[in-house]
Amino acid sequence: MSTQAKPGAVRVAVVGATGYTGAELLRLLGQHPRVHVDTLVGHSRVGEAASEALPSLTGTPLGARTIEAFDAAALADRVDAAFCALPHGASAPTVAALRDRGVTVFDLSADFRLRDRAVYEAWYGEHGAPERFGEGGLRARRGLPGAAGGRGSGGRPGCYPTATVLPLWPLVRRGWVTLDRPIVVDAKSGVSGAGRKLRASAHFSEVANGIRPYATAGRHRHTPEIEQELSAAAGAPVRVLFSPHLVPMVRGLLAMAYVEPTDDRLTAEACVAAAREDYAGSPAVVVLDADRPPDTQWAQGANRAFVGYTKDPRTGWIVAEGAIDNLVKGAAGQAIQGFNVRFGFPEALGLELPGAWP
């Protein structure tokens, strides 16, 4: 049931409110000064109190709300914007139905992130709204998929691409990276990156005591997205050898990219200076001093990406590092950043808090 909006607030719906990124959207949007969360849309939990589906909302105004079924026409009457936090495939037709009715949509799935339909189909299968393919907004302001929110209602970058591309982008676009061989990226994610859906491979007893490589050696679906953005930055094809790992933590994502400089005199300090120039004014990217690799704990709960550079004095290679909270800068926070840009609010509005540390 819709509730009274605060004056001047943008009325929004969260579609997929009962998942992990949906929960994060509600946590952040609930305290955003220019947002009224009008509708919480679910799938299998329609009719439940939000506090039942999302226990951390117990005792909050949003917790007292009811999870509703998806109805594009009803939403179009009630809201100005919608955040879609659905699995890929399910997202495209939902986004299309809302956009057809004039709702501005911020999509967290991969359905609108790739620009080449053949590449999308090779990695994800048939697209659920082919007539709207290519409406993604991944090429964000200044080409930086993490610095701003993207073009209006387009897609948001994925979690691994955000942590990987942010540190590499300043180097690749300046021609500082040898591109006649792949860039090697080794990444680690907390288990919430896999979403809330039950699966044996995410059981506590199967993840708590180990580190699990998965979809390694270029088999992960985020590989083409990373290559797409870096190729655009380089103006030439970039290949990435990407290997992710599941590590026993709930949130957090760390990407370590190993690059051979085109000039072996390149220093970590020069990389830091370049990144600071490129990300100047971005409230969501923190460029660390040279040789200070980031820690995922610094980003926990915050819409901040920590970017760092270290030089290996023996090989002359540079390690470009990115750490984020997958659910915030990698998903919900990034989408809200895009919402802020699209609706003319300060980019960091409602997103200023530093992480919860330790």
Residues 28-47 that bind ligand NAP (CB under 6 A): 42-45
Nearest distance, CB of residue 179 and ligand NAP, angstroms = 27
Residue number with CB closer to ligand NAP (159 or 168): 159
Residue number with CB closer to ligand NAP (85 or 336): 85
CB-based burial of residue 223 (10 Å sphere; 0-12 exposed, 13-18 middle, 19+ buried)? buried
CB atoms within 10 A of CB 99: 19
Interface with ligand NAP (CB under 6 A), residue from 10, 20, 104, 147: 20
Separation CA 31–CA 273 (nearest Å): 35
Nearest distance, CB of residue 84 and ligand NAP, angstroms = 8
3-state secondary structure 28-93: HHCCCCCEEEEEEECCCCCCCEHHHHCHHHCCCCHHHCECECCCHHHHHHHCCEEEECCCCCCHHH
Q: Single out the segment in contact with ligand NAP by CB under 6 A; choices: 80-88, 126-134, 137-145, 344-352.
A: 80-88
Residue number with CB closer to ligand NAP (192 or 243): 192
Nearest distance, CB of residue 121 and ligand NAP, angstroms = 17
Interface with ligand NAP (CB under 6 A), residue from 102, 197, 198, 344: 197
23, containing H or E segment = helix 20-29
Q: Tokens for 20?
A: 């992990």
Q: Single out the segment in contact with ligand NAP by CB under 6 A; choices: 12-20, 122-130, 167-175, 301-309.
A: 12-20
Q: Tokens for 169?
A: 């982008």
Choosing from 144, 159, 240, 320, which is the catalytic residue?
159
Q: Cis before residue 358, ω within 30 degrees of 0?
A: yes
Half-sphere exposure of 128 (CA within 13 A, CB side): 17
Separation CA 103–CA 357 (nearest Å): 37
Q: Rule CB under 6 A: say whether 326 interacts with ligand NAP.
A: yes
Separation CA 90–CA 84 (nearest Å): 10
Q: Rule CB under 6 A: say whether 195 interacts with ligand NAP.
A: yes
CB atoms within 10 A of CB 291: 13
Nearest distance, CB of residue 315 and ligand NAP, angstroms = 33
Interface with ligand NAP (CB under 6 A), residue from 331, 336, 341, 351: 331
Nearest distance, CB of residue 352 and ligand NAP, angstroms = 21
Nearest distance, CB of residue 299 and ligand NAP, angstroms = 12
Contact pattern for ligand NAP over residues 86 through 125, marking x by CB under 6 A: xxx-xx----------------xxx---------------
Interface with ligand NAP (CB under 6 A), residue from 10, 22, 309, 329: 22
Nearest distance, CB of residue 89 and ligand NAP, angstroms = 8
Buried b vs exposed e over 259-278: b needs ≥16 C-beta within 10 Å? bbbeeeebebebbbebbeeb
Q: Rule CB under 6 A: say whether 21 interacts with ligand NAP.
A: yes
Closest CA to 358 of 298, 288, 294: 298
Q: Rule CB under 6 A: say whether 330 interacts with ligand NAP.
A: yes
3-state secondary structure 171-232: HHHCCCECCCCCEEEEEEECHHHHCCCCCHHHCHHHHCCCCEECCCCCCCCCHHHHHHHHHH
Q: Residue number with the shortest CB distance to ligand NAP?
A: 19
State whether residue 330 is helix, strand or coil: helix
Residues 144-173 that bind ligand NAP (CB under 6 A): 158-159
Query: Catalytic site residue 84?
Result: no
Q: Which residues bind ligand NAP (CB under 6 A)?
A: 16-22, 42-45, 85-88, 90-91, 108-110, 158-159, 192-193, 195-197, 326-327, 330-331
Active site residue ranges: 159
